[in-house]
Amino acid sequence: MAREQFSGHLDLLLLTALQKPRHGYGVIEHVRRVSGGRFDYPYGTVYPALHRLEADGLLRSRWREVDGRRRRIYEITCRGKTALAGRRREWEQFTSTVAAVLEQA
Amino acid sequence: MRTAKDQLLDELASSLRGPRRARRRLLAEIDEDFEDALRAERAAGLSARSAEAEVLARFGCPDDMAERWNGDQAERRGAIRRNAVLVVLAAVIAGALGVTQYATGTNSPVPRSKCIQTGENSARARAETDACRASAGFAD
């Protein structure tokens, strides 16, 4: 899959998962669990995406004490929620269009 | 004794580019998350060795991660440089316009607004305005 396509899908999943604050490992496990194991991203692919989304203002993060350990917790920003709504709409339009074309074949 | 996690972090540290603070933060995150993943695999019944192997496998290739990270950093640096060039260009153009205006405007005319009698439409007001403009060198 082209880098841009991969990034687009991953961003949509990460923004959705981070509507609730989580650390990096927590995000990966959440996506894996809710997708029934179908989206099993290598851990290493997620960290650059999280940092990029934060640099773009769609996420924010800070260090927090969790069970006696220091963890970097991410959550979606207001700007991120707006971006998520837009990307969700685009995804739904894309999938419904593909479905329509496939039905006519 | 160096663990597999230590080796992974060392490999990443040597491959990652960009601001030092961002790299250190990233490595600290991965360090903590790796421990979480190990604990989860051990809780699922794997031995210490198997858990480590499983987590390493699920992490993926460090080179792939470094490539994505370095690519994003390069894009960000490029965007910052482009913005800096635009700012400098705007400053140069503004400066050039200022110099041009100064060089050509030694006898600057009386601003038009000083000659306009706002709110008045009488013949007297118009005559006064015309006299003012004539003295300032404006030709109608």
HEC readout, A13-56: HHHHHCCCCEEHHHHHHHHHHHCCCCCCCCHHHHHHHHHHHHHC
Residue pLDDT, tens place only, B3-29: 889 999 999 999 999 999 999 999 999
**How large is the average pLDDT for residues B32-37?**
92
Question: Phi and psi at residue A90, in whole multiples of 5°?
Answer: -60, -45
Q: Which residue has the higher pLDDT, B22 or B98?
A: B22
CB B30 to CB A24 under 8 A? yes
Cβ-Cβ contacts under 8 Å, A70 against chain B: 28, 32
Answer whether residue B33 shows pLDDT above 60: yes
**How large is the average pLDDT for residues A46-61?**
96
CB A43 to CB B35 under 8 A? no
Count CA atoms within 13 Å of residue B100 on its CB side. 6
pLDDT band at B67 (very low <50, low <70, confident <90, very high): very high
- Res B121: pLDDT: 57
Share of chain B above pLDDT 70, in %: 79
pLDDT band at B127 (very low <50, low <70, confident <90, very high): confident
* A72 beta partners: A63
Q: How distant is the Cα of A96 from the closest Cα of chain B, in angstroms?
A: 31
Share of chain A above pLDDT 90, in %: 76
**How large is the average pLDDT for residues B49-75?**
93
Q: Which residue has the higher pLDDT, B110 or A97?
A: A97
Answer whether residue B139 shows pLDDT above 60: no
Q: Which residue has the higher pLDDT, A28 or B109?
A: A28
User: What's the mean pLDDT when you consider all of chain B?
Assistant: 83
A24 to chain B: closest CA residue: B33
- Res A2: pLDDT: 47
- Res A83: pLDDT: 96
Q: Does A45 touch chain B (CB under 8 A)?
A: yes
- Helix A24-34, helix B20-43: angle, nearest 10: 50
CB B69 to CB A69 under 8 A? no
**pTM of the full predicted structure?**
0.73
Mutate to test the interface with A, among B12, B34, B36, B77 (most CBs of A within 10 A): B36
Q: Compute the Cα dihedral for B93, B98, B102, B104 and give only its sign.
A: positive
CB A72 to CB B25 under 8 A? yes
A47 to chain B: closest CA residue: B26
| pLDDT-wise least confident of A34-48, A90-104, B32-46, B89-103 | B89-103
Answer whether residue A43 shows pLDDT above 90: no
Polymer length of chain B = 140
Q: Does A70 touch chain B (CB under 8 A)?
A: yes
- Res A1: pLDDT: 43
Does the ipTM surpass 0.90? Answer: no
The tokens describing A85, both together, are: 């709504």
Helix, coil or strand: residue B60: coil
- Res B135: pLDDT: 66
